[in-house]
Structure 1
Amino acid sequence: MTDEELREIVCRLHTELVRNDLVAWTAGNVSGRLPGGDRFAIKPSGVSYDDLTPESIVVCDLDGNRVEGELSPSSDTAAHAYVYRHMPDVNGVVHTHSTYASAWAARGEPIPCVLTAMADEFGGEIPVGPFALIGGEDIGRGVVDTLKGHRSTAVLMRNHGVFTVGDSPKAAVKAAVMCEDVARTVHVSRQLGEPLPIAQADVDSLYDRYQNVYGQRSAR
């Protein structure tokens, strides 16, 4: 895959954030890198989703320096770069302020694993990361430190929003979509009463089945 093809993919995936109501105005971003690569493509700062083109997507090195593109990269570029440097198996990062998941982040509360869909996708609760200011590496450090020891590919950064990771940009986008979906469902459940927990052994079994059995394996 070339840089041009990667920019095309990253550009196209931003439409999924809009289609799934995960972003408002120009907030949020998707980035992606080639497996094992030393550069990544990311949304330009403050550009409307309607105006994104593959040419407008910015390519940066793993220190967050722009190496291709005419526009300034996202204000979250340093955070994405930190994740890529410290999580070598990650090739996609997504950030959103999706409503329900961000509401949990505003409370500083993990989303408990009370749905089989959560066990499937995240292998447990969706954890909360520390408060960190935008623009530097602190957010990326919080994402990396929080996800250590977790099977979750999503983290709720306190008072901020959602960061997700994946082995591809598409996988990271999927995690962002699923994070908002379960955040909404668990919130609604709590309006009716206390959600029922799932036993850890069952969480483990569900996660293993979904990750290793579910779907068309030959197509992956």
Structure 2
Amino acid sequence: MHQLELRKQVCQANQALASSGLVRWTSGNASGRDPATGEIVIKPSGVLFDDLTPEKMVVLDASGHVIDGDLKPSVDSTSHLYVYQNMPQVHGVVHTHSQYATGFAVAGRDLPISTTTHACLFGARIPCSGLASIGETEIGREIVRLIGDGSAVLLRNHGVFTVGKSAWDALKYAVYAEESAEASFLAHQLTGEIPELDSTFVAGCRSMYLNDYGQEKENNSNY
């Protein structure tokens, strides 16, 4: 992928975080990795989403050194980098502080499988990690430790990280993680509990999504 194309894709993914209501002010970020070169494009630190342009994106090499861009990269770059270094199938990472999913993270609770959409997209609970320091590899370690072949992790008292085959793909998982968290929260308000779907039913939903949903079949993988 040409670097300019990746810059545009990552810029659009970051702007979509804001337009989707998943972030506020300057918190949150999206990154993408070029499978051919290993270069990583990520949001600059502390820049408003409305002010982002492809030219303002920061380009890192596979070791995390800035190789193009005039601005500092996101403080979460180290976390993104750790994920890329340890999950070669991942080429997009998204981080949000979306309200409902972060509520589960503050409570230290996994996000249960309460909707058919969650069953289709994730196929399992979204796990909640332990506490990890911002701006360190600790967050990346927690993501890799918990995510398995899934696509989302709740970071305790922090927010949400999602991964995918591109920045846009990781964004999709962030959108649906928040939708699932909101539905679960509202169900709890209505009934005092969060009904969770049966594992056999979940497996059927997941199989349908991977094999039949959309115009092209998925690769039996989130990536």
TM-score higher than 0.5: yes
CA distance in 1: counterparts of 2:138 and 2:212, whole angstroms: 37
Q: What is the DSSP-based 3-state SS (H/G/I as helix, E as strand, rest coil) of the residue aligned with 2:40?
A: strand
CA distance in 2: counterparts of 1:108 and 1:118, whole angstroms: 19
CA distance in 1: counterparts of 2:65 and 2:136, whole angstroms: 13
CA distance in 2: counterparts of 1:170 and 1:37, whole angstroms: 19
Q: What is the DSSP-based 3-state SS (H/G/I as helix, E as strand, rest coil) of the residue aligned with 2:163?
A: strand
Q: How does 1:40-51 map to 2 (within 5 A)?
A: 40-51=40-51
From 179, 182, 185, the counterpart of 1:184: 182
8 A Cα contact 2:132 2:139, kept in partner: yes
CA distance in 2: counterparts of 1:60 and 1:108, whole angstroms: 33
Could you say which residue in structure 2 is the equivalent of 1:60?
60
CA distance in 2: counterparts of 1:128 and 1:101, whole angstroms: 10
CA distance in 2: counterparts of 1:122 and 1:37, whole angstroms: 29
Could you say which residue in structure 1 is the equivalent of 2:76?
76
Count of residues paired in the alignment: 218
8 A Cα contact 2:39 2:60, kept in partner: yes
CA distance in 2: counterparts of 1:3 and 1:219, whole angstroms: 26
CA distance in 2: counterparts of 1:218 and 1:212, whole angstroms: 5
User: What 5-or-longer segments of structure 1 have no aligned partner?
Assistant: none
The yes-or-no answer on 1:24 pairing with 2:21 is no
Q: Deviations over 1:159-217 (max 9, x none)?
A: 10000000111110000010111100100001112232211111111111101211111
Q: What is the DSSP-based 3-state SS (H/G/I as helix, E as strand, rest coil) of the residue aligned with 1:130?
A: coil
Q: How does 1:57-136 map to 2 (within 5 A)?
A: 57-136=57-136
Q: What is the DSSP-based 3-state SS (H/G/I as helix, E as strand, rest coil) of the residue aligned with 2:135?
A: coil
Q: Following TM superposition, by how much is the alpha carbon of 1:219 offset from its aligned partner in structure 2, in angstroms?
A: 10
**Residues 219 and 181 (structure 1), Cα distance of their counterparts in 2 relative to 1, 3 Å cut:** closer
8 A Cα contact 1:36 1:88, kept in partner: no
Could you say which residue in structure 2 is the equivalent of 1:211?
210
TM-score of the two chains, using structure 2 as the length reference: 0.94
TM-score of the two chains, using structure 1 as the length reference: 0.95
